[in-house]
Structure 1
Amino acid sequence: MSTDISPTGPGRPRDEDATAAILTATLRLLAAQGYGGTSTADVAAAARASKATVYRRWPSKVALVAEAIQQGLREAHEAPVLTGDVRADLAEALAAKMRALSDGPLGGAIRAVISHAAHEPELSAAMAMILAGAREHGALRPLVEEARRQGLVAPDADVGLLLDLLLGAPFFQLLVRQVRPDPSSAKALVDLLLGPTAKVEQHAT
């Protein structure tokens, strides 16, 4: 096959176009067919790429799936437009994550991979690293740190634990309850996290 993906215009498709098409196809197939039901050949066909193109970029199915999930999370964790109201900004950033898990194939792909990862240590280790990275480097962390600086949570509050509380709700819904996370609940979740400290401060004044 002379091209990485079927061209949409004259000339050879760029490498980044082929990579994006393959990663997108991987997420969609995982969400639709599960991890066990998705093969590298399926991904190549869906992305209009050769299997050789896929294997040149990813030496194994685990590597391909891991990067597809990582890319999906990276796009879901893009920095939000900040208004200066940390409570509102935190709610919007959390809602954006919940929309990413609900509206596209990312949520279904994560659910499919996590359910299979218990049986494949290499996949489990890759997912643990990816999800930890998304937690540490996503848009929520600096907002939670700013909330702590502003006194909206206790000054000695564990930022990592606060992140677990915020992100735990949508992932519990997705993976345990098997329902789509509801972005409209993001504000209520943030209020549960920040509300008690705010009330104490109001009484103190």
Structure 2
Amino acid sequence: MLGGMTDRGGEATTPAESDSATETDPSAPARPGRKRDHSRDPEILRCTIDVLAETGFEGMTIEMVAARAKAGKATLYRRWASKGELVVDAVACLKQGDVDLGSLPDTGTLRGDLVAMIKPHSIDEAEKKMRVMAGVVTMLSTTPELADAVDAAIVQPRAEANRLLMRRARDRGEIGADTDIETLALVTPSMVSYRVLVLRKPVDREFLVSLIDGVLLPAAGVRQTAEV
């Protein structure tokens, strides 16, 4: 409500005073429009991934994440309106660590660049990501309106990296000028997502190289005989 409110004695109070009465952090100044502190977001998102992997989406609560991150529940609720939105941001943060568009490899060949993008992961990491993605599937079954946000978090980062690498290959004449980069950029991240989200199988180096050599490069018109 935009107008002033009254306290128990009938005296008018301002919205700022009302906010102060409900603020869970007494050390924070309560005034409309104050800047939110996002410095703890990375830690909160890491804790979200941990809790999601341990409990699944249905078992996870924002209260659990708050406790793990040693943050107030009100802090998380002001930042994320639902646990679905929190999970989407956490998965996006996880994927950002896998793909750094500012430092893509430049080996001189498209295959070399794509293979160099593959990062080694331990068995424990792979299993954790499987559990996280299983949680995402459950989330989408109950909140399908988050599908576009999940696509942006999971598929698009790697797709954009593929676009940049293929444009570079096109510029140096390695692939044809008429190559359908937009479609091909989605091939590997889409197949990876299907393998993890639907088939519930891990993604290892062998699988990724087979996609590069058996699907993406032939579709782009690249002939190569290099071995891994």
What TM-score do the two structures reach when normalised by structure 1? 0.75
Give 2:99's aligned residue.
77
Are 2:192 and 2:203, in contact at CA under 8 Å, matched by a contact in 1? Answer: yes
Q: 2: distance between equivalents of 1:198 and 1:126? A: 33
Are 2:51 and 2:60, in contact at CA under 8 Å, matched by a contact in 1? Answer: yes
Are 2:195 and 2:202, in contact at CA under 8 Å, matched by a contact in 1? Answer: yes
Q: Does 1:60 align with 2:82?
A: yes
User: Helix, strand or coil: the match of 2:58?
Assistant: coil
Displacement of 1:106 = 4.2
Are 1:90 and 1:190, in contact at CA under 8 Å, matched by a contact in 2? Answer: yes
Give 1:134's aligned residue.
157
> In 2 relative to 1, CA 90–74 (structure 1 residues): closer, same or farther, beyond 3 Å?
same
- Bigger RCO of structures 1 and 2 (CA < 8 A, at least 6 apart): 1
Q: 1: distance between equivalents of 2:133 and 2:156? A: 15
Instruction: Select 1:124's aligned residue among 123, 137, 147.
Output: 147
RMSD: 3.1
Q: 2: distance between equivalents of 1:132 and 1:189? A: 15
Q: Does 1:31 align with 2:68?
A: no
Q: Supply the AA of the counterpart residue of 1:130.
A: A
Are 2:44 and 2:69, in contact at CA under 8 Å, matched by a contact in 1? Answer: yes
Displacement of 1:44 = 0.5
Q: Does 1:103 align with 2:125?
A: yes
Displacement of 1:115 = 3.1
Structure with larger Rg: 2
Displacement of 1:41 = 0.3
Give 2:6's aligned residue.
none
Instruction: Select 1:88's aligned residue among 112, 128, 134.
Output: 112
Q: 2: distance between equivalents of 1:72 and 1:47? A: 16
Give 2:33's aligned residue.
none
What TM-score do the two structures reach when normalised by structure 2? 0.68
Give 1:181's aligned residue.
203
Displacement of 1:49 = 1.2
Unaligned ranges ≥5, structure 2:
1-23, 28-36
**Deviant stretches of 4+, over 6 Å:** none
Instruction: Select 1:171's aligned residue among 170, 173, 193.
Output: 193
Give 1:144's aligned residue.
166
Displacement of 1:134 = 2.4
Give 1:21's aligned residue.
43
Q: 2: distance between equivalents of 1:127 and 1:194? A: 27
Displacement of 1:100 = 9.6
Provide, for residues 70-112 of structure 1, a one-character-per-residue CA deviation record: whole Å limited to 9, x for no partner: 111222111334333332111121x23x849982644432331
Are 1:101 and 1:181, in contact at CA under 8 Å, matched by a contact in 2? Answer: no
Q: How many residues align?
A: 187
Are 1:69 and 1:106, in contact at CA under 8 Å, matched by a contact in 2? Answer: no
Q: Supply the AA of the counterpart residue of 1:84.
A: G
Q: 2: distance between equivalents of 1:199 and 1:179? A: 29
Give the fraction of aligned pairs with identical amino acids, expressed as a percent. 28
> In 2 relative to 1, CA 100–155 (structure 1 residues): closer, same or farther, beyond 3 Å?
farther
